Structure 1
Amino acid sequence: MDRWMNFFFLKDTTDVQNSHVGTTDENLDRGNWSSSTDYLLSLIGGAVGLGNVWRFPYLAYKNGGGAFLIPYTIMLAFAGLPLFFLECSFGQFASLGPISVWKAVPIMQGVGVTVVLVSTLVAIYYNCIIGYSIYYLFASFQFPLPWSECFEWSDENCSTQPKEYCNITSANGSFVLVNSTWLNENNATCEGSNIFSISVQSPSEQYWDKVALHRSSGLDESGGVIWHLALCLLLAWIVVGAALFKGIKSSGKVVYFTAIFPYVVLIILLIRGVTLEGAREGIEYYIGTHSDISKLSNAEVWKDAATQIFFSLSTAWGGLVALSSYNKFNNNCYSDAIVVCVTNCATSVFAGFVIFSVLGHIAYISHKPVSEVAQSGFGLAFIAYPEALSKLPISPLWSILFFFMLLTLGIDSQFAIIETIATALQDEFPKYLRSRRALITVVVCVVLYLFGLPCVTGAGIYWVNLIDHFCSGWVLIIAAVLEFVGIIYIYGGNRFIEDIEMMIGKKNCYFWLWWRACWFFISPCLLTIILVWSLVTFSAPSYGTIPYPVWGTVLGWFILAFCIIWIPIFAVFNFAKAKGGILERFRQICSPTPDWGPYLECHRGERYKNQESPQRIQDHEGSMI
């Protein structure tokens, strides 16, 4: 009984075992990855997500096809990889989460709070998308697939073929509208000027809106909870909670499946896709002869390349810092960063062939150009691609594989997000929470599930889209720019390089030329340009052609402000907490705290030999907050 009381009521005891710490771990307070492969696959799983499949292929097609790979690769080298390596090194060096790691520069502590808040909001809606995938996965165990035809749930606008009518003159001189069926039965013809089409919706589109989502007319009309989605969301959270129950010790094993399985499915779908009629035309649109290098003169193309690289690598979310904090001190985070970034980008390009080979087929059989069937985001994942799969032989099999792939792609990205939140909490309150990792996981999953229920109402998709529009854009770019300012300019770029060399070994000056150029100038300037350009070209959020009410847009700006307001709040708070005059206080909050440095004494060397023990300070003084 005492054991359970201690578990739930957070009494400070020493007899509660750290289930997330192994006997062979280097850091017996926080634990380490069981192997470097666990860490590498967790990084790949966190970085390679839904955006690689449903966003990059469409961006490449829209922005010049194969020519888009030029700005994409340049942005990877100048913006994505430098920030990725910086965050991995930062977390690994101090063995601390995304808030506590800012002991290096206390004035920037609010940046850590901001990224954790953003991760929390993203976790709420991202698991809803995983819930959609689970629903479609279950729905795929039917033949025929429920979105293959206009069944009883459809309305008069549903059709698998365009509806064409002919305006003819009857015997008495009146005008009559007849369809193509009547013309065929009566051996009649229609003059071209008298033919017109009526807009229709495909079965997959109506199934998505009417059956899966029960979508309302707008954000103003929420309706009740859609219980089949609420149950799918609950199942998604149960899977996440179970995988993270023992922290990295359990999730590090699950990712062997969730990170590798999507590649198996992508290969299977590609083999099937390229054998379909019309596949070649689809691939030509994606990255072949339809490539248009002249589009590189358009600034929008470069902005799209930069934002896709930035977001697909999951930088500035706090996840890279959190996952890397469990590395052993001398892990080669440099090679890990290279491998993950290259793998992530190669996956995006490869997924494009999978997507456009099948879209080319649906364009072929529907007698439409590829441009009319190409979509991104929800439209691709839950309308266009399912429609294409429904037209294949043994369509349920292909649909099951596709949606199970989406589930695994999303779920390991969610592992990284929840690990970020849990790590931040246990590092800020180690005296009470570090030995109760299972409790943290359960509480976080339950609370976020309850907060996610509005996203599974009739207006749920509008909430998902609104949060995504405001939380996964400017906030993260602001946080990334401030990371460069804090680590490179305030903490000191040269000092940071020396910290990295303590972990991966001494490197010659030529090795650091590229990283210095990017960290000190190129990367922060690029991100600042992207931020300004995004703000200048801001457009009010909408879901398809449905605009948001004014109060919805205002709420979105409020959410954005709520996330970033903690940056100045914690700067002022730490300034007020410091001692001395104004200049002395400013110096203190721009300098590392006494316990900053390698977590374990055996790694501190001469540079940090006078460092105070982080564990002793935590036990006596508590968290930074």
Structure 2
Amino acid sequence: MFFMEETEEHFGLRSTRVGYGMMVVSTYIGIYYNVVICIAFYYFFMSMTDVLPWTYCNNPWNTPACVGMMDSHANATLANATGGLAAAAAAAARGVAQEVVNRTKRTSPSEEYWKHYVLNISDDIGNFGEVRLPILGCLAVSWVVVFLCLIRGGQVVYFTATFPYLVLTILFIRGVTLDGAINGIKYYLTPQWEKVLDAKVWGDAASQIFYSLGCAWGGLITMASYNKFHNNCFRDSIIISITNCATSVYAGFVIFSILGFMAHTLNVPVSDVADHGPGLAFVAYPEALTLLPISPLWSILFFFMLILLGLGTQFCLLETLVTAIVDEIGTDWIIRNKPVVTLGVAIVGFTLGVPLTTQAGIYWLLLMDNYAASFSLVLISCIMCICVMYIYGHRNYFKDVEMMLGFPPPFFFKVCWRFISPVIISFILIFTVIQYKPITYNDYVYPNWSLFIGFSMAMSSVICIPIYALYKISKSPGATFRERLRNACKAHPTWGPALKEHRTGRYAPMASGPEEGMEARPLQEKEELKEKEELKEGEEVRERKEEVCLTIQQGSNGSTNTHNTPSSPTVA
């Protein structure tokens, strides 16, 4: 799918209404993703202290249930320093008691800092409460950074794409040298075979790979538009896909080595400290960082890495929306004032993100993440694959790829595009629907009306595709529905490479074309036309040969008569 999207840009995929669905998905992701970045900004700023604010339980926002890991270490150290068997026994008893609390109702300082201070989370998704001003300020900073980087040409993406690898390596070296790191890595590498039959796992995995590679939300098509027409996108697709998967695996070692150290320190299984979603980035991992020497430094590095990774994605999202607006409207003013369009999109994105900075914002963020940008990504990819392979035609598409690359796509990709990918994606979609479970956040169960909003967001990005298809069929010529459908599925006469200099071969200019003598015909029509031209040329050649033969014959007859004429009198 990654390879397919890279090749389709130069053949005008953005003009199809699948692109509208991608644009809607990019809008949803861009709204809530920048909120995640702004929270990383907030933690980054709050890490610039001598002691991380989520280290101890002596803060105004902490509850009696809070038990910090550093508190237990301090008690044990104090007992050993004062000496005495009674003091050591008392410290051990306290340690046992705290271990019991850890396994039952313990809440960590990082969890309470996240819930009660950063979010000040409300008790219901409908109870918005007040806007968290620190988060709102960081959201403004995030959008300003994204806007400034884009209008300067986006060269900063070279830094945001490479520097996180340096930070990952630093954290990896630190993590694997800690006690208990091997336990976390073993937990990370040990497969849980009972999860294989869980459709949610496959659905989440599909959504994650589509999300991480950027498939189906328009970013690939936007970035591919800056490539040369004959760029070897096959090679790029292989390199990027392998690098993406390798980076994800590498990041897993970084995360779980620290979590293994945390589990070793608490004397609990790794599964008890491992979390998912925002809880991993803003609760579990920050809590583990408090156990490290010079913990503010490691916290700064970690959240700086998250910021860079998030900004790299956000650059692509915003550029996708801006490019779609500029290309679709296409007026001279819009093209000349692209920075103004970028500013307008950034302002709208900031405004729509304000509700996510309220006390109920985390509920809405997770709702958008689970519905607006999960199921729809997979569905759009399935629709796109089927349309290209079975409506546009696999032979046409393979010829297009061969024109771009100079060689046909590999046989494996042909089989995947035509059969394997649509079947796998369809099965994932079907079993995800069958085994659907409503979203929850910790112990909070989302009400039905919020789930309806979630499904509405998911379908809003997909519904525009069949709506436009019905509109196209209704406007197509034909006496019956079948004729209209057949005409609607035909390639447009101007279909072909976006730039005229690339219209060669079967997309070569023709005098009968509707646009400046240009007409790009589908493969079958081209072949038929070629056969007709060859027959016509053959007839012309035969006619010329006949004319030449006739001329020679006449010339020969003329020369004979000329020689015979003077001799006639002699004969007479």
Shift of 1:114: 1.2
**C-alpha separation in 2, matches of 1:187 and 1:548:** 42
Does residue 1:586 correspond to 2:504, yes or no? no
Shift of 1:512: 2.6
Aligned residues of 1:599 and 1:614 also touching (Cα < 8 A): no
Q: Cα distance, 1:373 vs. partner?
A: 0.6
Q: Larger C-alpha radius of gyration, 1 or 2?
A: 2
Question: 1:220 aligns to what?
Answer: 126
* Count, aligned residues: 497
Distance 1:527 1:202, change over 3 A: same
Which segments of structure 1 move beyond 6 Å, counting only runs of 4 or more? 186-192, 611-617
**Cα distance in structure 2, aligned partners of 1:381 and 1:575:** 48
In structure 1, the gaps of 5 or more residues are 1-82, 103-108, 165-180, 618-625
Higher mean C-alpha displacement, 426-435 vs 378-387 = 426-435
| C-alpha spacing 1:571/1:615, structure 2 compared with 1 (3 Å) | farther
CA distance in 2, matches of 1:614, 1:244: 35
Residue 574 (structure 1) shift: 2.1
Question: Which residue of structure 1 aligns with residue 225 of structure 2?
Answer: 325
RMSD (Å) for aligned C-alpha atoms? 2.8
Kindly indicate whether residue 1 of structure 2 is the aligned counterpart of residue 86 of structure 1: no
Partner of 2:568: none
Task: Measure how far apart 1:572 and its partner are.
Answer: 2.0
Residue pair 2:372, 2:455 contacting (<8 A) in 1 also: no
TM-score, normalized by length of structure 1? 0.75
Deviation readout 1:379-430 (Å, 9 max, x if unpaired): 1100010011111111111000000100011111111111111111111111
Residue 306 of structure 1 deviates from its aligned partner by 3.7
Is contact 1:163–1:198 with CA below 8 Å preserved after alignment? no
User: What CA distance in whole angstroms lies between the structure 1 residues aligned with 2:373 and 2:348?
Assistant: 21
Q: Please, which of 522, 525, 549 is the counterpart of residue 423 of structure 2?
A: 525
Measured after TM superposition, the shift of residue 320 of structure 1 is 0.9
Per the alignment, do residues 361 and 591 of structure 1 end up closer, same or farther by CA in structure 2, a change over 3 Å counting? same
Paired residue secondary structure (1:234): helix
CA displacement 1:122-159 (0-9 Å, x = unmatched):
11000000011000000010110000111222121211
Structure 1 residues 571 and 190: alpha-carbon distance in aligned structure 2, compared to 1, 3 A threshold: closer
* Aligned residue number for residue 152 of structure 1: 60
C-alpha spacing 1:554/1:387, structure 2 compared with 1 (3 Å): same
Once residues 25 and 516 of structure 2 are traced to their aligned partners in structure 1, the CA distance between those partners, rounded to angstroms, is 28
Name 1:282's counterpart in structure 2: 184
Choose the corresponding residue for 2:283, options 383, 390, 409: 383
Q: Which has the higher helix share?
A: 2
Distance in 1, matches of 2:357 and 2:42, equals: 12
> Contact conserved, 1:127 with 1:237, CA < 8 A, in 2?
yes
Supply the AA of the counterpart residue of 2:350: Y
Q: Compute the displacement of 1:161 (Å).
A: 5.1
Find the aligned partners of 2:278 and 2:47 in 1 and give their Cα distance.
17
1:147 partner amino acid: W
Q: Deviations over 1:279-321 (max 9, x none)?
A: 111112111xx44567656666555544432332121111111
2:509 matched to 1:602? Answer: no
Q: Where does residue 136 of structure 2 map in the other structure?
A: 230
- Residues 263 and 613 of structure 1, relative CA distance in 2, 3 Å threshold: farther
1:498 maps to which of 359, 380, 399:
399
The one-character-per-residue Cα deviations of 1:553-585 (angstroms, maximum 9, x if unpaired) are: 111122223222212221122223334434443
Q: Give SS of 1:558's match.
A: helix
Query: Which residue of 2 is the match for residue 143 of structure 1?
Result: 50
Counterpart contact for 1:599–1:613, Cα < 8 Å = no
CA deviations over 1:185-229 (Å, ceiling 9, x no partner): 69999999xx88751210000000111111111202111211111
Residue aligning to 1:78: none
> Any unmatched runs of 5+ in structure 2?
73-85, 519-572
Alignment of 1:232-271 (within 5 A): 232-245=138-151, 250-251=153-154, 253-271=155-173
Q: Distance in 1 between matches of 2:147 and 2:435?
A: 39
| 1:440 paired residue number | 341
Q: Is the 8 A contact 1:273 1:357 kept in 2?
A: yes
What is the rounded CA distance, in whole Å, between the counterparts of 1:190 and 1:260 in structure 2?
44
Structure 2 CA distance for aligned equivalents of residues 403 and 367 of structure 1? 27
Which of residues 212, 217, 235 is equivalent to 1:335?
A: 235
Query: For residue 502 of structure 2, what is the amino acid of its counterpart?
Result: H
1:473-527 per-position Cα deviation (integer Å, ceiling 9, x unaligned): 22111111110111111111111111111111024xxx53111110110000000
270, 281, 294: which one aligns with 1:370: 270
